[in-house]
Structure 1
């Protein structure tokens, strides 16, 4: 009796599963046609002689991590930023406390496309007039590249006055003001401020305004000329093409030299001449 009623021939409950080739074809149609929804794909499969429910098509697309058609019709936020990064620059204030508990303010700018960092100025008493003057100085310093920029991102700090915006609007830039308490709208600038703190300011004591300006200027040279960036295939901002190095034997430590910068806080490594 036990050998007879093993139920090995009983069919599993529910509808039969969708065949793997059909699933692959559904995913392929969705990737090749970003504007097609699950019902449009169902209709195309019906024309090919494959009968399948629209809900099944939706489940297959959802399981493959493919969003509905309206969300696939345009570029993602990452793709949008990558496409327009060459035309975007951003600015923000960095606050630094000195040894004597004096608060200093640093105005920095960063170009999204090449990650080039600019130090606009350091002051203990920022005003609207001071910010406008730093904007004019920056516009003169980057006059050869400012024609390729289209957008300037900054927050709602009252120091960014209408005159400050007019300096860049006169150069053809469109001002984008971030929302309140939304640092991710200016994420690249916030990230470089975090980099300045982690790599430099959290590891050194600042005496006064002049000391901070000297330290930041030296770090700025390291950041723009040597520090690698993942978004630029590990190239520094000032390097437009990859370096062509000969293959070296890194087992021989004598071929690599260390050069300390910023009072030894940061190391740079170079091939021996």
Structure 2
């Protein structure tokens, strides 16, 4: 089964994710925030899973626990989670998802088109919103 066929046949149980950054003017000066989002492919619905200045493995582990919460987690009823090879997708992060029944599919290094839905969203949000506005704390 090729990747297009796989995605089409599993779209209702698949989510994709990525990061983008936003620069915000604060009283301390220009601060860069990292935005981590997850997209439900079937609905093309995007949810922000985390926004923060400092993102590390411990933060991402907590984000993974929140996403897999059995009551209201973003990944409830999801079987597949597609992401790139960002170092923030730590072994612990991936293990938390796997332990809750979500298979992590990492794209090949240097192939952003394999996560095209997420990359397209990042491009659109930057072009239509972020590049047009100045955010203040």
Tell me what 1:175 maps to. 104
1:146 equivalent in alignment to 2:76: yes
Tell me what 2:131 maps to. 202
Question: Partners in 2 of 1:161 and 1:78 — Cα distance?
Answer: 27
**Higher relative contact order, structure no. (Cα contacts within 8 Å, ≥ 6 residues apart):** 2
SS of the residue 1:158 aligns to: coil
Larger Rg over CA atoms: 1
1:1-273 counterparts in 2 under 5 A?
77-99=3-25, 100-140=29-69, 141-142=72-73, 146-147=76-77, 149-208=78-137
Normalised TM-score (structure 1): 0.45
Length, aligned pairs only? 132
SS of the residue 1:114 aligns to: coil
SS of the residue 1:101 aligns to: strand
CA contact (8 A) 1:146 1:171 kept: no
TM-aligned CA deviation for residue 77 of structure 1:
4.7
Normalised TM-score (structure 2): 0.85
* Greater strand share, structure number: 2
Question: Partners in 1 of 2:125 and 2:113 — Cα distance?
Answer: 18
Question: Partners in 2 of 1:170 and 1:112 — Cα distance?
Answer: 22
Structure 1: stretches of 5+ with no match in the other structure: 1-73, 209-273
CA contact (8 A) 1:120 1:138 kept: yes
